[in-house]
């Protein structure tokens, strides 16, 4: 199946003008020729080392035989359960690929102690894929250390049960190679969020049983259309729609996946992290149902259908998963051009990491709550109850703001809380996003700090049922995730964003109080 894009155009002459300009400057063919000058001189140095994703449908084919051979070897030893330790671009694409294929993959993209502990079982039949582009991601490093200890305690050789994916020459590459682990080295000229068709997407998916050769075939089938300097180019048209709408104030995009494979979560991190900077950008809102509320400053995109939504700014995109990966990457690059931003950097992601490191290392102190309660401690409000604190926060959501729900909780155990977002959006008549922490820090976190400064934030943290030490480190996962939440909250406040953090002592009672207040 090929990708087919429909855009409602009669009301948007500006979109057609933008497409004509892109065709005239040969944007598509220059993109696929890896021309780094397309986003201006300030972006040129970064773009020069971030454009190899346009040829991954060919260059990644060499990985397939090695991945398939390793999968067969592992299954021959009775190792068939695959756990992926990775964050952001290293985890979201494999999650979508495996969901589309109907194969099992446990995506461990959290530092929440209870969630991490629950992944440690059936070790004899488990292979852990440790994925980190930089090789220094603290969440992933901590998970690796914990699994190494668990395998050793179970009398198993970690090198027989851990596979590493990283950039060549990274600290993780050197360490894993020295330890005798199987290492797959990814293309270093592809950024994390564009890495779906690199080793980061293919290794865990292939080991889990997905047909990764077919995925590359699907991407290859749409290249001729996407590199064509023509007004019918779907990538140009989708990117022009997103960029022009955002430029005109319609700067949020609602994504509904009719196929139910989670593609919206992958698009969310791609678009948010690529465009959310310089106080501009496009905020994705992942919808649970096509009937979720929509505001006047939102584009609506239906995935997996040709039925065009009725909203004035809308699109429908249908096609193979490999084709969808590539068309959205092209569209995001186009939108960056129209918005005059660099779609390949992430200048505000490091700020939250640095704040967390300062808190974790003792260079700064964790904040004291404004109020201590039996159910929850309150940070960022003088209110003495959960209900009053939330009420004060919601009053700050005006006719331009959006509300971000950020839950640093066990997403495996608490699936279903995502439904809070559309219910609250209906109440507020404003967009509401939902993010599991710290997962979202590696995706939408860039937009929250660097994008259009209209976010209002509700963070929820909790005492773990049982904390989990990190072998070889002087901190626990509980201490780490609290530092991540507090650090990100501080960065947001320093940028003038309203942030309320509720730290729950009684998870069940605290969530009940939050649900009551939001309802």
- Say which CATH number the domain at 248 has: 3.40.50.10490
What confidence tens digit (pLDDT) does each residue in 302-333 have? 999 888 888 889 999 999 999 999 999 999 99
Q: Please report whether residue 9 resides in a domain.
A: no
Same domain (yes/no): 331, 355: no
Contact 306, 6 (CB under 8 A): yes
Same domain (yes/no): 149, 298: no
Cα–Cα distance, 368 to 355 (Å, whole number): 16
Same domain (yes/no): 304, 353: no
State the chain's mean pLDDT as an integer: 95
pLDDT at res. 10: 44
Pick the residue with more confidence: 483 or 362? 483
The pair of structure tokens assigned to 496 is 């003038």
Same domain (yes/no): 300, 353: no
Q: Which residues of 111-133 are buried (b: 16+ CB within 10 A; e: fewer)?
A: bbbbbbbebbeebeebbbbbbbb
**Whose CA is closest to 93, among 183, 226, 219?**
219
Residue 287 has pLDDT above 80, yes or no: yes
Cα–Cα distance, 192 to 187 (Å, whole number): 10
Mean pLDDT (whole number) for 13-25? 96
State which of 292, 309, 339 marks the end of a domain. Answer: 339
Ordered DSSP codes for 159-187: GGTEEEEE-TT-HHHHHHHHTT-EEEEPP
Same domain (yes/no): 387, 493: yes
H helices present in 382-518, as ranges: 386-394, 420-428, 445-450, 477-494, 507-518
Contact 107, 91 (CB under 8 A): yes
Q: Please report whether residue 16 resides in a domain.
A: no
Helix (H, G, I), strand (E, B) or coil at 470: coil
Same domain (yes/no): 361, 315: no
Cα–Cα distance, 442 to 86 (Å, whole number): 10
Neighbours of 510 (CB within 10 A): 23
Cα–Cα distance, 455 to 108 (Å, whole number): 27
Residue 2 has pLDDT above 70, yes or no: no
Contact 238, 315 (CB under 8 A): yes
pLDDT at res. 303: 94
The pair of structure tokens assigned to 194 is 């564009």
Cα–Cα distance, 5 to 179 (Å, whole number): 48
Q: Please report whether residue 1 resides in a domain.
A: no
Same domain (yes/no): 133, 237: no
Mean pLDDT (whole number) for 389-405? 97
Same domain (yes/no): 259, 112: no
**Residue 4 — pLDDT band, cuts 50, 70, 90?**
low
What confidence tens digit (pLDDT) does each residue in 179-236 have? 999 999 999 999 999 999 999 999 999 999 999 999 999 999 999 999 999 999 999 9
Cα–Cα distance, 269 to 325 (Å, whole number): 12
**Whose CA is closest to 116, among 138, 92, 101?**
138
Pick the residue with more confidence: 154 or 7? 154
Q: In the chain, pLDDT over 70 holds for what percent of residues?
A: 98
Q: Please report whether residue 31 resides in a domain.
A: no
Q: Please report whether residue 3 resides in a domain.
A: no
Cα–Cα distance, 440 to 109 (Å, whole number): 10
Cα–Cα distance, 73 to 79 (Å, whole number): 9
Q: Please report whether residue 4 resides in a domain.
A: no
Same domain (yes/no): 117, 251: no
Same domain (yes/no): 159, 239: no
Cα–Cα distance, 284 to 252 (Å, whole number): 6
Look up tokens 């995706």; give the residue.
443
Number of domains in the chain: 3
Same domain (yes/no): 386, 498: yes
What are the beta bridge partners of residue 174? none
Per-residue HEC secondary structure of 14-75 comes to HHHHHHHHHHHCCHHHHHHCCCHHHHCHHHHHHHCCCCHHHHHHHHHHHHHHHHHHHHHHHH
pTM for the structure as a whole: 0.97
State which of 339, 372, 387 marks the end of a domain. Answer: 339
State which of 187, 215, 243 marks the end of a domain. Answer: 215
Q: Please report whether residue 24 resides in a domain.
A: no
Domain range holding 258? 232-339
C-alpha distance from residue 264 to each of 78, 111, 301, 324 (Å): 34, 23, 10, 11
What confidence tens digit (pLDDT) does each residue in 415-465 have? 999 999 999 999 999 999 999 999 999 999 999 999 999 999 999 999 999
- Please measure the distance between the N-terminal and C-terminal CA atoms of the chain and give it in whole angstroms: 42
Cα–Cα distance, 448 to 495 (Å, whole number): 10
CA 127 to chain centre: 23
What confidence tens digit (pLDDT) does each residue in 338-358 have? 999 999 999 988 888 899 999
C-alpha distance from residue 364 to each of 273, 463, 490, 497, 517 (Å): 27, 21, 11, 21, 32
Same domain (yes/no): 179, 79: yes
Residue 6 has pLDDT above 70, yes or no: no
Residue 68 has pLDDT above 60, yes or no: yes
Cis peptide before 438, with omega less than 30 degrees from 0? yes
What are the beta bridge partners of residue 82? 127
Q: Please report whether residue 15 resides in a domain.
A: no
């Amino acid at each position: 199946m090929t990708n087919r894009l429909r855009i409602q155009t009669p009301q948007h002459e500006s979109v057609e003008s933008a497409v004509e300009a892109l065709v005239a400057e040969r944007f598509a063919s220059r993109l696929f020729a890896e021309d780094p000058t397309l986003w201006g001189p300030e972006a040129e140095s970064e773009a020069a080392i971030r454009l190899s994703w346009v040829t991954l449908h060919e260059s990644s084919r060499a990985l397939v035989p090695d991945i398939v051979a390793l999968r067969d070897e592992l299954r021959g030893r009775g190792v068939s359960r695959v756990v992926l330790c990775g964050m952001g671009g290293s985890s979201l694409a494999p999650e979508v690929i495996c969901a589309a294929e109907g194969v099992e993959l446990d995506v461990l993209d959290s530092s929440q102690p209870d969630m991490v502990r629950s992944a440690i079982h059936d070790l004899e039949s488990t292979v852990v894929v440790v994925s980190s582009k930089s090789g220094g991601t603290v969440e992933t490093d901590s998970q690796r250390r914990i699994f190494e200890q668990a395998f050793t305690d179970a009398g198993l050789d970690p090198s027989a049960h851990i596979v590493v994916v990283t950039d060549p020459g990274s600290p993780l590459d050197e360490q894993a190679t020295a330890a005798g682990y199987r290492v797959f080295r990814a293309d270093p000229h592809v950024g994390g969020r564009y890495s779906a068709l690199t080793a980061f997407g293919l290794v865990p998916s292939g080991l889990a049983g997905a047909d990764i050769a077919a995925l590359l075939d699907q991407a290859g089938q749409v290249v001729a259309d996407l590199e064509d300097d023509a007004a019918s180019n779907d990538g140009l048209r989708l990117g022009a729609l997103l960029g022009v709408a955002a430029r005109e104030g319609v700067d949020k995009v609602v994504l509904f996946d009719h196929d139910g494979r989670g593609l919206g979560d992958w698009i969310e991190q791609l678009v948010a992290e690529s465009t959310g900077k310089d106080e501009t950008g496009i905020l994705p809102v992942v919808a649970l149902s096509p009937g979720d509320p929509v505001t006047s400053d939102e584009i609506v995109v239906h995935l997996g259908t040709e039925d065009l939504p009725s909203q004035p700014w809308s699109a429908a995109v249908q096609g193979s998963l490999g084709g969808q990966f590539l068309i959205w990457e092209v569209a995001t690059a186009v939108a960056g051009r129209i918005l005059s931003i660099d779609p390949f950097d992430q200048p505000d992601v490091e700020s939250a990491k640095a704040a967390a490191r300062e808190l974790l290392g003792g260079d700064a102190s964790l904040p004291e709550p404004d109020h201590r309660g039996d159910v929850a401690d309150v940070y960022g409000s003088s209110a003495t109850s959960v209900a009053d604190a939330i009420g004060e926060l919601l009053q700050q959501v005006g006719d331009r703001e959006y509300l971000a729900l950020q839950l640093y909780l066990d997403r495996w155990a608490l699936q279903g809380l995502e439904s809070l977002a559309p219910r609250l959006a209906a109440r507020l008549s404003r967009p509401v996003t939902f993010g599991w922490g710290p997962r979202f820090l590696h995706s939408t976190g860039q937009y929250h700090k660097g994008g259009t400064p209209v976010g209002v934030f509700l963070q929820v943290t909790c005492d773990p049922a049982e904390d989990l030490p990190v072998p070889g480190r002087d901190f626990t996962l509980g201490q780490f995730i609290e530092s991540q939440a507090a650090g990100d909250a501080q960065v947001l406040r320093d940028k003038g964003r309203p942030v309320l953090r509720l730290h729950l002592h009684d998870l069940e009672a605290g969530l009940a109080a939050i649900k009551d207040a939001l309802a």
